[in-house]
Chain A
């Protein structure tokens, strides 16, 4: 059974700091990995998706890396802003029969990020 763990559970940083969120997964047979942002009481917003053959993806101030063999992904946020305050969720999609993807995502519990001015 795939298990996804996110560390730390919560993080509070001053504005402008660079930070790293960690995600680890137990089954390395993943199809892809997706990072999401969730604001309180809201749905999930997709931030980055990394295919299993990729090492990293970048979008603006966000950079996500993937080390499939060690079962780890990191989300790097540069020059953090108060508007980045949210819960960040990591989710993996397993490889299914024939090398295709299963439909479902397995999520970690999230990292609650607070960026204070």
Chain B
């Protein structure tokens, strides 16, 4: 499978615990994005990497959230001290701006439930 891969697919955690999600982009894609989607809403942008550099962060990304992309390959999104409001689908996408043609490809998402 050469698509975007996200793990785990589902995560249930108790409030106050830390969680970490992983995203493996399409291998030749240098851009990687994280989005969050709550029920009945469209995805909202969280952060963006070009290679290993984090170039943009949304105000939605509070100080409890941190994302990394070491060596410009896979990325991790960590949420510390989870709150019930963090319950959502976390989506990862990747792209490669070939010839100015930028199309994003999404993974299947990680569904987080904070109880």
Q: Which A residues have a C-beta under 8 Å from some C-beta of B?
A: 4, 31-32, 34, 36, 41-46, 49, 51, 89, 91, 93, 100-110
Q: Which of B1-57 contact A (CB under 8 A)?
A: 4, 6, 31, 33, 35, 40-45, 48, 50, 55-56
Q: Which of B63-115 contact A (CB under 8 A)?
A: 89, 91, 93, 95, 97, 100-109, 111
Given contacts A43-B4, A104-B33, A104-B45, 9 further A-B contacts (CB under 8 A): A36-B106, A44-B43, A51-B101, A89-B43, A91-B42, A100-B100, A103-B56, A103-B95, A109-B41
Contact call A42/B109, Cβ cutoff below 8 A: yes
Contact partner, B31, options A44, A51, A103, Cβ 8 Å: A103
Bound complex: CA A36 to CA B91 (Å): 13
Contact call B48/A103, Cβ cutoff below 8 A: yes
Shortest CB distance A31–B (Å): 7
Bound complex: CA A51 to CA B99 (Å): 12
11 interchain pairs, CB-CB under 8 A: A4-B42, A41-B89, A44-B43, A91-B42, A91-B43, A100-B100, A103-B50, A104-B56, A105-B35, A106-B45, A109-B40
Contact partner, B104, options A4, A100, A105, A109, Cβ 8 Å: A105
**Chain A hits for B93, CB < 8 A:** 44, 105
**Chain B hits for A42, CB < 8 A:** 108-109
Contact call B106/A43, Cβ cutoff below 8 A: yes
Contact call B105/A46, Cβ cutoff below 8 A: yes
Bound complex: CA A41 to CA B107 (Å): 12
**Chain B hits for A43, CB < 8 A:** 4, 6, 91, 106-109
Shortest CB distance A26–B (Å): 15
**Chain B hits for A107, CB < 8 A:** 42-44
Bound complex: CA A91 to CA B105 (Å): 13
Bound complex: CA A34 to CA B101 (Å): 12
